[in-house]
Amino acid sequence: MQNQLNLNIEQPTDDYPVMVLLVDDQAMVGEAVRRALATEPNINFHYCAQPEEAITAAKKTRATVILQDLVMPGIDGLTLVRQYRAHPETRNIPIIVLSTREDAATKSAAFTAGANDYLVKLPDTIELVARIRYHSRSYMNLLQRDEAYCALRQSQQQLLETNLELQRLTNSDGLTGLANRRYFDEYFSAEWKRAEREQSMLSLLMIDIDDFKLYNDTYGHLAGDSTLKRVASTIGSYARRPADLAARVGGEEFVLVMPTTSSEHMRILGEKLQLAVYSMQIAHSVSSNDDRVTVSVGGATVTPQRDASLLNLIEAADRALYRAKRSGKNRVEI
Ligand code: GH3
Ligand code: MG
Ligand code: MG
Ligand code: MG
């Protein structure tokens, strides 16, 4: 934390590495600048006589500041300045234009092209070094802020992913992957309020596997778990609209919440679901129906009125399920 607070302060010390890249067609200028910087602590120097190679040299040397000549054969210095600015890797490297020209128009054009500074050559060594150090320091600080920013973004991203995973774990049932009781309560309550506000229909199906205690007794608990998963997956496939929710609310009990769904539509869906489980033909030798695993389904629909409770809808669906059980199982009652 302490370090981060210091990030914005540009400390006037010499103990950071400086890499100067000079791009100038005249070898004599190259030699003069090399000599001027030779005894300076922590300043490295690279000379590039070919303007075509300047971008590559800036990347390769990891330049922290560029000294750029204006008048060169082939490429015009201002064009080159614009090119540095266009490349992602050289975009932010400070550029000090170094030219024999002293007129305001040329200086102005250099800044417009993207230069950070302008010196008439050959400048006084003390001033040159001071400007090199100043621009390098700004650049290093910029890079540091970039890194800190990236690290921050990365940890934020990780936190976000962890939260999403946590949310997923909190809301889903470990065995079947469907929503769990906790999430059903939350979701159902929210949908109830919305249906009341919008005066729309809300349908609820309750699904219970038939004779499942007998299934466990006959085939064992592990087989029971596996069958639970398979049936749950079929039930889940009937949550077809984005607002539908399939949840496991008890051992072998499931619900399907269907907002803005009529009783008739709910019945059709319930019957398809019941038939789909029946058609899975999961062997159950002591089942009440056709030696296979079946489900009983109870459904209810309301348009919530003021003062009504969502418990009424749950109880109505529960009563319908009880009727389905009483009248022989493997069926839908509304
Ligand atoms: P009904 O047809 O009336 O619904 O009878 P049933 O036997 O299915 O109902 P009951 O409520 O008597 O028993 C439910 C059984 O479901 C009891 C339990 O052994 C089984 N069960 C509940 N949760 C799990 C589970 O996570 N895994 C397994 N394998 N079995 C479970
Ligand atoms: Mg020149
Ligand atoms: Mg049961
Ligand atoms: Mg039950």
- Residue 148's pLDDT is 85
- pLDDT > 70? residue 8: no
Mean pLDDT of 188-194: 97
Per the annotation, the verdict on 252 as an active-site residue is yes
- pLDDT > 80? residue 2: no
Q: Measured from the CA of 223, which atom of ligand 1 is nearest?
A: 29
Which residue has its alpha carbon closest to ligand 1 atom 5? 211
* Stated pTM of the model: 0.68
Q: Measured from the CA of 227, which atom of ligand 1 is nearest?
A: 29
Distance 136 CA to ligand 2 centre (A): 23
Mean pLDDT of 52-68: 96
- pLDDT > 60? residue 11: no
Which residue has its alpha carbon closest to ligand 1 atom 23? 251
Distance 252 CA to ligand 4 centre (A): 6
pLDDT tens digit sequence for 246-264: 999 999 999 999 999 999 9
Q: CA 63, 65, 66 angle in degrees (round to 5)?
A: 90
Which residue has its alpha carbon closest to ligand 1 atom 14? 213
CB 322 within 8 A of CB 298: yes
In this structure, the residues whose C-beta lies within 6 A of any atom of ligand 1 are: 175, 208-214, 216, 221, 224-225, 228, 251-252, 325, 329
Which residue has its alpha carbon closest to ligand 1 atom 17? 213
For 257, residues 6+ apart whose C-beta sits below 8 A from its C-beta are 184, 187, 188, 191, 202, 203, 204, 244, 245, 246, 247
Q: Measured from the CA of 175, which atom of ligand 1 is nearest?
A: 26
CB 30 within 8 A of CB 22: yes
Active-site residue identified among 252, 253, 271, 315 = 252
Query: How many Cβ atoms are within 10 Å of 322's Cβ, its own excluded?
Result: 15
Confidence grade of residue 147 (pLDDT, cut at 50, 70, 90): confident
